Amino acid sequence: MDALVEVSGLTKRYGGTLAVDGVDLTVLPGEVYGFLGPNGAGKTTTLRILTGLIAPTSGSVRVLGGRPGDARVLKGTGSMIESPAFYPYLSGLDNLRLLAEYAGVSRQRIDEVLELVDLADRARDRFSTYSLGMKQRLGVAAALLKDPELVILDEPTNGLDPAGMRDMRRLIRELGTEGRTVLLSSHLLGEVQQICDRVGIINAGRMVAEHNVEELRGEQELVVRATPRDDAQRLLTRFGNVHQYDDTLRVQVDPDRAAEVNRALVEAGIEVSELHTTERALEDIFFELTTAKEKTDVG
């Protein structure tokens, strides 16, 4: 299978800042690829290059087998880069109409995408009156307008409330199950875990790792608050790596073993005041991946 996006050795320098530093990235047909990294990691810069908005400083980039920004490549790519940008004085419908004129898309497709993002009943209102969630949904509608092979969405859930996030994630997952290829950037580990098949992690302009999403699913840990803490810490190393976080202990262990952990602590006469699972913070994973396993193990 030919990759839809093939990036190798991609570098982008803005004056003195190296925003993207030797990124390699491959997106295969039909997958939902998560491009995960904290703010300022270089996600938007990479996606701008893929859509032909900015030129790379060096490296090779192929999108749909062609150069980014070529008419044929643009035709098969729908994108929303950073915040959705539309003409504020036009209605959502008119905004899509004019994009359809540029792209050579039928009027009927406009109604379809409005329906898809659940914006049909507000389509005739001005864009400037839309809530942030509606603006994002219009952005996704615009990205889908061309019925594209490849959909590029840059942090589409940014700034949404929990309900808005949930709807947006459901929508993106549906795109994936339709067999569309989606390249999604995010700074939320949980989000890419929910939506994506494969995840590439970028930090400070460099690709740190590429995983199948199952490999990241193990990245959960147990939060334990117990006294005396030192005894608890010593005991918990039996189950996995332990590190301190504020006044709690974090244990890298399969969350299904929580009961077993609890029993072990209680049997050792340690008082457990809190025990729950949590997702490991993205920052921890970056820290771990970037500092060659110099973990703050205690034990």
Q: Is 83 in the site for ligand ADP (CB under 6 A)?
A: no
Q: Which is nearer to Mg ion, 80 or 145 (CB)?
A: 80
Q: What residues between 231 and 290 interact with other proteins by CB under 8 A?
A: none
| Residue 134 beta carbon to other proteins: minimum distance, rounded to whole angstroms | 16
User: Footprint of Mg ion on residues 10-69 (CB under 5 A)?
Assistant: 44
Q: Which does 176 bind (CB under 5 to 8 A by kind): ligand ADP, Mg ion, other proteins, none?
A: none
Establish if 203 lies at the interface with Mg ion (CB under 5 A): no
Closest distance to other proteins from the beta carbon of 85 (Å) = 4
Chain-centre distance for alpha carbon 175: 15
Cβ 269 to ligand ADP shortest distance, Å: 48
Should residue 16 be labelled a site residue for ligand ADP when binding is judged by CB under 6 A?
A: no
Site string for ligand ADP, 22-61 (x = CB under 6 A): ---------------x-xxxxxxx----------------
- Under the criterion CB under 6 A, does residue 278 sit at the interface with ligand ADP? no
- Interface with ligand ADP includes 200 (CB under 6 A)? no
For ligand ADP, give the closer residue by CB, 49 or 265. Answer: 49
Sites of contact with ligand ADP (CB under 6 A): 14, 17, 19, 37, 39-45
